[in-house]
Each structure stands twice: as C-alpha cells, then as structure tokens.
Structure 1
Amino acid sequence: MIDQEEIYSKVLRAGRRTYFFDVRSTKAGDYYLTVTESKKFTHDDGSFHYKKHKIYLYKEDFSAFKENLDEMMNYIIEEKGSEVISERHQKDFKREDEIMIENDAPKAATESFTDVSFDDI
C-alpha cells in the first residue's frame, strides 16, 4: 500500500527508538493511522543504519485495538509498575545524557589570555 497524504503527525523519541504516529488519507479521502518504529543501529566502524517497522491501523479496528493495547499496558503496569526501566534502556538514556553534557560543557575560557602588542615588547 502506498502512503497517501499526511494529515497529522506526532513523534516520540525513546532512547535509540523513535516512534512516528501519522494520520494519513486514502485516495477516497478516508483516514487511517500508521505507527512506525525506527531503531538506530551503530556499526563498529561508526557507520549506522535504521530498521523500520510499520503498522497500518484502520478506523474499523480502532476500538478493538485500543482495548487490547490498554489491557496489555495495564497488565504490565500492574505486574511491574510504571516506573520500571530496563537496564538496557537505562544505558541508552545515560549515554544520551553524557553526550548532551559533553556538548553543553563550557569551552576553555580565552578571556584569561593577555592581549600583547608587539609595541609592548
């Protein structure tokens, strides 16, 4: 199926994964939802690629899909709590924080150098 016109979109970034929620329009003008998971894989040489998985969800399936999704999420929260983050995801988040800290770190101050003119020597 070829994606048609994009109507509305949201993005959820979660560690190395990004989720895209897109409302699209068919040629007949009806709407449907696509949910795409994109995951970044980095190779030993520093190059990377993305793997994407997409599902198409049509209006006639919304109610049943939502019920099942709510049931599964509630089950996980009841069994494991809502604040549990796996070790793997903690490492991903820690790595992202370290990168942000490195990028935000102050650069060496150049104001401490004395401006000397050749006339002063």
Structure 2
Amino acid sequence: MSDYKERHENEIFTKVLKAGRRTYFFDVRETKAGDYYLTITESKKNYSENGDATFEKHKIYLYKEDFKAFQEMFMESTDFIINEKGEDVISERHEKDFKSRQFTIDSDDEV
C-alpha cells in the first residue's frame, strides 16, 4: 500500500480553517489498534524570490488522554491573551512588508 493511501485511509474526520497565509487542519485519525487521535497541522504558504509557492508545515499529535489538560491550558492561554490585549488584531504587523519602526535619538534631543 502506498504511503499516501495509508495516510488517508486512517483519516476519519477533517476540518479546515483558512486564516490568511496559514491553513489549519484538524484531522481525526485511527491508530492500528483502532483508537482515535487528533492531528493539528499548521500549513503556511511562503513564496521564494522567483515567486514559487512553498508550504511550511508543523504538526501536533494529540491523544485522548491529553485532551482535557490540553483544552484547559488552551482556554487559559487564549483567555489570558484576550483579557490582556483584547480581540482586535494589530493587522499591520501581519502584512508581508511590515517593518518595525526604529526610533533614533539625537544627542540634541531631550529624553
């Protein structure tokens, strides 16, 4: 059996979240023993200097015994971010050509 076919035969359920240049895949898969686990894959589209698209992928394997603790820590972390920074996104930092502003102080300037 080909590697591709084997990888896709054990997929039970899939959800896709497109978020700009990133796409998140939530895949429920089946182990050889018949149990289920979750893979979360982040795929980020990048472009080379000649314009060719490449994809950078990162994957997390999450098993049932870790679901509750993972969910609790995820919620605690996301709640912390929302409480500290709100839900608004500082969008300019997500732009491809964003450059952080650099400030210089001349010796004549008062600080």
- TM > 0.5 fold call: yes
Partner residue, 1:14: 19
| Displacement of 1:44 | 1.5
1:1-121 alignment runs, 5 A limit = 3=7, 5-89=10-94, 91=95
Query: Shift of residue 82 of structure 1?
Result: 1.1
Q: Could you say what secondary structure the match of 2:34 adopts? A: coil
Q: SS at the partner of 2:16?
A: strand
Please give the root-mean-square deviation of Cα atoms over the aligned residues, in Å: 1.6
User: What is the letter of the counterpart of residue 35 of structure 1?
Assistant: I
Question: 1:62-120: per-residue Cα shift (whole Å, max 9, x none)?
Answer: 0000000000000000001012244233x36xxxxxxxxxxxxxxxxxxxxxxxxxxxx
Letter in 1 for 2:57: K
Q: Which moved more, 1:3-12 or 1:15-24?
A: 3-12
- Normalised by the length of structure 2, the TM-score is 0.75
Q: Given the two structures, how large is their TM-score scaled by the length of structure 1?
A: 0.69
Gaps of 5+ in 2: 1-5, 97-111
CA distance in 2, matches of 1:52, 1:24: 18
SS of the residue 1:87 aligns to: helix
Instruction: Please identify runs of 4+ aligned residues in structure 1 that moved more than 4 A.
Output: none
User: What is the total number of aligned residue pairs between the two structures?
Assistant: 90
After TM superposition, give the deviation of residue 48 of structure 1 in Å.
1.8
Structure with max Cα Rg: 1
Percent of residue pairs identical: 63
More helix by share: 1
